[in-house]
Structure formats: structure tokens, C-alpha cells
Amino acid sequence: MIIRHARVFDSFRKCFVRKDVAITNGVFRRIEDRIDETCETELDATDAWMIPGLVDIHMHIESSMSIPSRFSDCVLPYGVTTVVADPHEMANVFGMEGILSYISNEETPLDIFYGIPSSVPSTNAMLETTGGAIGEQEVRELLAYRRMVCLGEVMNFHDVCYEENSVSAKILRACKEERFDLPIEGHCPRISGEQLDDFLAAGVSADHTQQNRESVLEKISKGMFLEIQRKSMIPEVIHTIIEHQLYEYVALVTDDVMADDLRYGHLNELVKKTIAMGMPCEYAIYCATFTPSRRMHLEDRGAIVPGRIADFILLRDVERFDILEVFKRGVNVKQLPKAKEMQFPAHFYHSLHGSPASINDFKIPAQGRVAVCNIMEIEPHSTFTQHRRERVVIENGYLAWQGCYTLACVMERYGKNGNRAFALVKHAMKGQGAVATSWAHDHHNLLVVGTNEADMALAQTALLEMQGGYVVVRNGTIVARVSLAIGGIVSDAPIEELGAQLAQAKKEIHSLGYVHDNVIMSISTLSLPVSPMLKLSDQGLILTKEQRIIPLMEECL
């Protein structure tokens, strides 16, 4: 195949040049001003810009609530030709069996590499209950798989830095012993100064969490590679990268793109957004193709040069990132067969264990007239929370939270201990209703939030019957369902169908007065015990930076 007269992106000079490009057996063979030979398949690209296929090195397929085969078919037309997926959600539910169920499928047209889940559970068994666990031995086994190209995001900062014999510390040592050059991905929200130094010294060398101007400059100055996802795409971050010419040290990544948004785009949308925010298109493309490939040692892609895989995009308009055609290994993705459907063990579809809840299950006994409570306050533009202490009235022997707070309850779902824990949440729902989900990061126990006990019980019961997903209840009526029957976290339904269900659920949650940029992620991360500041697991309320449990009620007066 020969592409004629294209404006070809030169990744090493970060500019476009008119070239002919010859492709043989799915690999770029020659890139010249003029190629005199002829070929049976030639394409005149005079009016097009030719760039490498997009490479997303930090993402979770489970965040799409879908499976690799469905995901592959969806994102290839957006120009995404390679991803590095961290399957730690499946690992939290099913352990090694969950990871191997994903990586065993190598027949997707999309190239899917994997990060070894490093934080399963995200903290430890004293702070949260999970279905599976990944330790040093499992990591050593996974290091032998050729598609494992990095250690997935290391979350447990405290154990890595200050517990020499912790599971996290042992996993890092194993990686250094087995594959010394393995990239170590990190989860470093609001970590700076000496704490950041300690994390870097332990071997963590990248961060994908929310950034600001100060964190960008500090982390890059200390040698950290930054993966910029949508929530970090704010003017101060993008302008800092441009002002200080930091392109070599950043990549654009998606992290989490849910099924409803996946219907309209993936990494290509972040490239568009970055260009719209003022980054020159050449550098935005560079940070979505070359720097991510280099970070993961994927030296066979990310540039249009002889010897690299012929993954490329033809654009109508480079400034608008308007895609004309996408090619995978020299073949138009429109001509590729659909990915082979994946098969999962039968028990993956029956993984929620527990009893239907009653109204009494959401009543919190208390003695006295008033309780001093630890409160979770939601931040409207992030998945972080603030920690407050407030007085809550006690009536008839129970905490009278209704009307002032949303109640959150996490119920253990793996049949291990039957744990149940509560939190009071500010700035969540205002209307009468409830949401129940098994898509609760990262342990994926049952999370129920609501403003009255009856709706919470109804939502929890419906969720058990569905064997996982999202259920939204308003005034005693189920108004939305998202079925995620595989492990309670993903679905094998078509993306369009799944996305429509999720869009309806979001709409109904908004109608309950839950105001947030991303209500699904906001709710689902109320139970993520490595995300600042106060979160809830089945074990209780967790001060995440200190990694310790505190009581819901400090004292009753």
C-alpha cells in the first residue's frame, strides 16, 4: 500500500511534511518525498493530514462498564489503536481469575496491553473487603506475560513508603528484581513535598491524578511523568505545560470513560480539547502518540517511520481533529472483522451475595439527644471529599439524619463477613430517592445512598436481583437500571444499549438534586479509600491520608 502526497506528521521534529508512505505487511517501509514504485493499492491523501494512531497508556476497560471485545470495536473508529489497560477492577472482584479472563482474549483488532494490578485491595484487608487479592506471588506470575508492560497504578502511598514489609512494598521489590526497567504507574493525589519524594524514591515514576500548576511543576521537576486526563484539563495545567515546554514529560490519557460518553468519543476528544485550549496541534498529537509509546517502551509504534507498525489516522482538518479514516496495521478499520465475543465462567454472572435489605437495615441506633458525627462533604468538581464534624440530632434512639444529609451505606457482597458501615454525606441528594450500585471503587461491595430508608431498601433489593449494576429509585419507584451482570461491574451488551441505560440513570440521579460534573463517578468513589479525604468502606469511615478508621459518631451528648 502507498499513501500519496499526505501531510505526514514527523514525530521527531513535531511538524508536518509532504511525503509518500509505503506500507508492507502492516509495517511502515518507506517515507520519502516521492516513491517511484507503484502498488496495487494506492491512496491519494493530498488533502489529508496523516498522524500515528492514538495510544492511551492509562485507562481501565471496566470503567466503560464493558468488555474488551466491545470496547475494541467502539474505540478503533476514534483513532485509538493501542491501549494499556489496568484490570484492577476485575481483580478486586475475582482476583487472578478476573485478570486472566481479560488478558486471555488476544483476538481484538485493538492492541490491548495491560498493567499488572498493584493495589488489590487498594489499601489492605483491615480497611476493606474484596473478592480477590493480588500479592507478591501473583505479580511475579503476571510479570511473565508479554502483554504486561507496566505495574498498574500504585495507590497505597502509606504502605509503600512507611511499611517495609507491606504487600505493596514487596510488589515493588519484585518488579525491580524481575524487570528492572518496568514502568511503575502511580496514584498520587495531593501528595507533595517530602511525601512525594518518598513515593518517587520507592520507584513510582508517573501520576495520572488531578493536577494544578504547582503539582505539574513540582512533579515533573522531580522526574515524574504526568498522564493528563480530562479532569486535569484546566487552563492553568495546559498553559503551564505550554509555557514551560513540558511536552516530553506528559501524555494524554482517558483513565475512565463511561459507556454513555464512549458513544461519542475517547482519547480523540481529549486531543480536540487540548488543541481548543491553546496547545499547538503538533504537540497535542505528540502527547497522544509518541510520548505514551515511549513511556511504555512500545518502540514499535507512536511514529510514522520505517519499521514501526502502520497504525495511522487520516484527518480532514488537523486543528479540529476531524477524522477521515483510521488504519490498523495498514488496513482500514472499516474492513476489519468485529472482535471475537468473549466468554466468561458462569459464576461471573452470579457474584453478588447477600440478603434483601429492609427499612430497619438503614436505621442507625444512638443514645442521648445529639451526636457529634464525622461527615463526608462532596467536592462539586472532583471525586474528593472534605472531612467535617457536625452535630446531628438523635430521636427515639436513632440518628435523625433525614432532611439534612444523604445516608451512604456499604454492604459486603462477597459472602465473607456480612459487614455494613454508614456515612453521612453533605451536598449529595436533595429529593426523595436512592441509588444502589455494585460499581463501587475499587472493592465493588454494595453501595447504597439515599434520603429515606424505604427507597434505599428497594434499590438494594433490585440490585441484588439484577446481580449488579446501578439502580435509581425516586419516591418508591424504580426509574432507571443499568445491568452489569459480569462481576457486578461490566456488561457484554452493545455500547449503544449500555450507554443509553447509563445516560438515563445519570438523568434520574440529577433529578434527585445530586449536583456534580460526573454523578456516577462521584457516587462510586465515595467508597474509594485511597482518594482524599474521608471515604467509606464496608469496614467503616476511613481517613484516607492517614489510612485509619474513625467512627461515624465521635460522641453522643
The pLDDT score that the predictor gives to residue 342 is: 86
Nine cell digits for residue 544: 484516607
Query: pTM for the whole thing?
Result: 0.94
In this structure, the number of other CB atoms found within 10 A of the CB of residue 377 comes to 18
Cβ–Cβ under 8 Å, residues 284 and 97: no
Which pLDDT score is estimated for 64? 95
Query: Of the candidates 357, 349, 367, which has an alpha carbon nearest to the alpha carbon of residue 407?
Result: 357
Q: Which CATH superfamily is domain 53-299 in?
A: Metal-dependent hydrolases (3.20.20.140)
CA distance 97 to 282: 42
Grid coordinates of 7? 501531510
One-letter amino acid identity for 101? S
109 HSE (CA, 13 A, CB side):
28
| Strand order from edge to edge, sheet including 80-85 | 54-59, 80-85, 111-116, 148-154, 184-186, 206-207, 225-228, 250-252
Strands 398-399 and 385-395: antiparallel
Q: Residues 16-54, buried b or exposed e (16+ Cβ, 10 A)? A: beebbbbbeeeebbebeeebeeeeeeebebeebbbbbbb
Composition of the chain by helix, strand, coil, percent to 5: 30, 30, 40
pLDDT, block means (10 residues), the chain with 557 residues: 97 97 98 92 96 98 95 97 97 96 82 96 95 97 95 90 90 95 94 94 95 97 98 96 98 97 98 98 98 98 98 98 98 93 92 97 97 95 93 97 97 98 96 98 97 98 98 98 98 96 98 94 96 97 95 95
| Residue pointed to by grid coordinates 467512627 | 551
**How far is the first Cα of the chain from the last one, in angstroms, to the nearest whole number?**
79
The grid coordinates of residue 207 equal 501520576
Task: Identify the bridge partners of residue 94 per DSSP, sorted by sequence position.
Answer: none
What is d(CA 446, CA 512) in angstroms, rounded to the nearest whole number? 20
- The alpha helices in 143-248, defined as continuous H runs, are 157-162, 167-178, 193-201, 213-221, 235-243
Given a contact cutoff of 8 angstroms between Cβ atoms, the answer to whether 213 and 228 are in contact is no
DSSP structure class, residue 359: G
Give the whole-angstrom CA distance, residue 91 versus residue 346: 17
- Spell out the domain ranges in the chain: 53-299, 348-556
Which pairs count as long-range contacts for 188-195, CB under 8 Å and 24+ apart, including other chains?
Answer: 188/157, 188/219, 188/224, 189/384, 189/531, 189/532, 190/384, 190/532, 191/157, 192/218, 195/157, 195/161
pLDDT of 102 reads 84
Task: Give the other-Cβ count within 10 Å of 517's Cβ.
Answer: 12
Per-residue model confidence (pLDDT) at position 10: 98
Q: For position 105, what pLDDT does the model report?
A: 63
Residues 6+ apart with CB under 8 A from 283: 14, 242, 247
Contacts of 410 (CB under 8 A, 6+ apart): 419, 420, 421, 440, 445, 446, 447, 527, 536, 537, 538
pLDDT of residue 106: 64
* Span 217-268, pLDDT tens digits: 999 999 999 999 999 999 999 999 999 999 999 999 999 999 999 999 999 9
